[in-house]
Amino acid sequence: MPQRIAFRLYVKPDMLDEYMRRHDPVWPEMLEEIAASGRRNYSIFHVGGGELVGFYETDDDAASQAYLAKSEVAAKWEADMGRFFVAQEGRADQNAEIFPEVFNLEAQLAAARS
């Protein structure tokens, strides 16, 4: 079963509009790097006040992070985006606050049906 990763970041409220513009669209080469890292079903949601919650699936999150950590494209993207974040140490793709999964319908259904 793939790993499902949920994370949170905070964007400076006065920079939120620009942050959103930068994501519509994201650089094509960055989109390709995210996909090449093994991340899929990747979404970021704005929940208010500059708070962002994101989600993606991957087969190996450590390998995905390692791939992006070595990527020149990702380094350039993260350097450009770093100024948008509140109290973010290092690159957002490497240091976002991660949340443990508490419930997964598909996993529990599969277990209950077997």
pLDDT in tens, 67-107: 999 999 999 999 999 999 997 777 877 888 899 999 999 98
Of the candidates 8, 23, 40, 70, the residue annotated as catalytic is 23
pLDDT in tens, 24-38: 999 999 999 999 999
**Is there a catalytic annotation at residue 23?**
yes
Neighbours of 105 (CB within 10 A): 7
Under a CB-based contact definition with an 8 Å cutoff, are residues 36 and 64 in contact?
Answer: no
Q: Which residues contact 34 (CB under 8 A, 6 or more apart)?
A: 42, 68
Ordered domains of the chain (ranges, CATH): 3-113 (3.30.70.1090)
pTM over the 0.85 mark: yes
48 vs 13, 23, 56, 72, 109, CA distance in Å?
9, 17, 20, 31, 33
